[in-house]
Chain A
Amino acid sequence: MKRLYFAGIALLLAACGTATDQHSSITAIPPEELTAAADMAPSPAAPTVEETQVLPTPTLTIAPTLTDTAPRAATPTPLNVDLPAGNAREIAAATDTAMRPEVQHLITFDESPVSIRFDEFYNGYNLRTGLVLSDKLLSLDGQTVQIAGYMAPPLKPELDYFVLTRIRLAFCPFCSTGADWPDDIALIYLNNDDTTVATDHPMRVTGRMEIGASIDHETGMVSLVRIYADNLEIIQ
Chain B
Amino acid sequence: MKYPRILVLVAALATMLILGLLPVAAQDAVPVTILPVTNAEFLPGAHFDLRVEVQAEALPEDFAVSINGQDASEFFGAEAVDENWQLGDENPVMVSASTWRGVSLPEAGDYTVSVMAGGAETNVDWTVYEPQEAVAKNVILFIADGMTIPEITAARVATFGIEGGKVNGEFATDSFDEIGLVHTNSVDSVMMDSANTASAMNTGHKGSVNATGIYADSSPDVLDDPRVETLAEILRRTTDMSIGVVTTSDYTDATPASVWAHGRDRSSGSRATYAVQALEGIQPDVLMGGGAQYLFPQSTEGSRRADDRDMYAEYEAAGYTIVNSATELNDALASDMPEKLLGIFHRSDMNVWLDRNVYTDNLGDFTDQPGLVDMTMAAIDILSQNPEGFYLEVEAASLDKQMHPLDQERALSDLIEFQYAIAAAVEWAAQNAPDTLIVVTADHGHGYEVYGTVDVTAFNAAEDDMGRRQAIRTYGAAGFPTYTDSDGDGFPEWDADIVFAGVVNNHPDYTENFQVSETPRVPAISSDNGYVDNPDDDPNGIVMSGDLAPSDSTGVHTLQDVPVFAEGPGAEFFGRSIEQSDIFFGMAYALGVDPRG
Contact = CB atoms under 8 A, between A and B. Distances in A.
A128 B312 CA distance: 8
Nearest to A43: B526
Contacts of A72: 300
Interface string B194-212: 1100000000000001100
Nearest to B85: A56
A185 to B, nearest CB: 11
A127 B369 CA distance: 12
Contact of A130 (B303, B401, B522, B527): B303
B306 A61 contact: yes
B526 A177 contact: no
A8 to B, nearest CB: 16
B300 A63 contact: no
A130 B303 CA distance: 7
A137 to B, nearest CB: 10
Interface in A97-124: 122, 124
Contacts of A69: 297, 299-300, 308, 310
A56 B222 contact: yes
A48 interface: yes
Given A44-B522, A125-B365, A60 B344 contact: no
Contact of A58 (B269, B307, B324): B269
Contacts of B404: 48, 50
Interface string A120-145: 00101111111111000000000000
A161 B193 CA distance: 37
Contact of A45 (B223, B344, B553): B553
Contacts of B301: 74, 122, 130-133, 183, 213, 224
Nearest to B534: A44
Contact of A177 (B193, B265, B346, B347): B265
A36 to B, nearest CB: 15
A79 B308 contact: yes
A55 interface: yes
Interface in A52-73: 52-53, 55-56, 58, 60-63, 65-67, 69-70, 72
A72 B531 CA distance: 40
A128 B557 contact: no
A122 B347 CA distance: 14
Nearest to A67: B308
A56 B302 contact: no
A42 B526 contact: yes
Nearest to B305: A222
B304 interface: yes
Contacts of B265: 51, 55, 177-178
Interface in B52-68: none
Given A43-B526, A67-B308, A177 B300 contact: no
Contact of A213 (B292, B298, B347, B401): B298
A113 to B, nearest CB: 23
A180 B265 CA distance: 14
A234 B266 CA distance: 38
Nearest to A212: B299
Given A63-B307, A213-B299, A224-B301, A51 B522 contact: no
Contact of B209 (A52, A60, A129): A52
A155 interface: no
B93 to A, nearest CB: 14
Interface string A156-179: 000000000000101000000111
A53 B531 contact: no
B402 to A, nearest CB: 10
B448 interface: no
A133 B302 CA distance: 10
B524 A52 contact: no
Contacts of B364: 125
A154 interface: no
A126 B345 CA distance: 10
Contacts of A42: 525-527
A58 to B, nearest CB: 6
A50 B193 contact: yes
A51 B345 contact: no
A51 B254 CA distance: 11
A43 B209 CA distance: 28
Nearest to A225: B301
A53 B207 CA distance: 14
A46 interface: yes
B221 interface: yes
Contacts of B523: 45
Contacts of A224: 301
Contacts of B324: 127-128
Contacts of B525: 42-45
Interface string A21-49: 00000000000000000000011111011
Contacts of A50: 193-195, 210, 254, 266, 404, 557
Q: List the 9 closest pairs (A to B, CB-CB), nearest first.
A: A178-B267, A131-B302, A213-B299, A170-B526, A131-B301, A56-B220, A45-B553, A130-B302, A127-B324
Given A58-B220, A213-B301, 4 more contacts: A42-B527, A50-B194, A56-B222, A130-B300
21 contacts: A45-B525, A45-B534, A50-B404, A51-B209, A55-B264, A58-B269, A60-B306, A61-B306, A62-B306, A63-B308, A69-B299, A79-B298, A122-B302, A127-B346, A129-B300, A131-B302, A133-B301, A177-B268, A179-B268, A183-B302, A220-B306
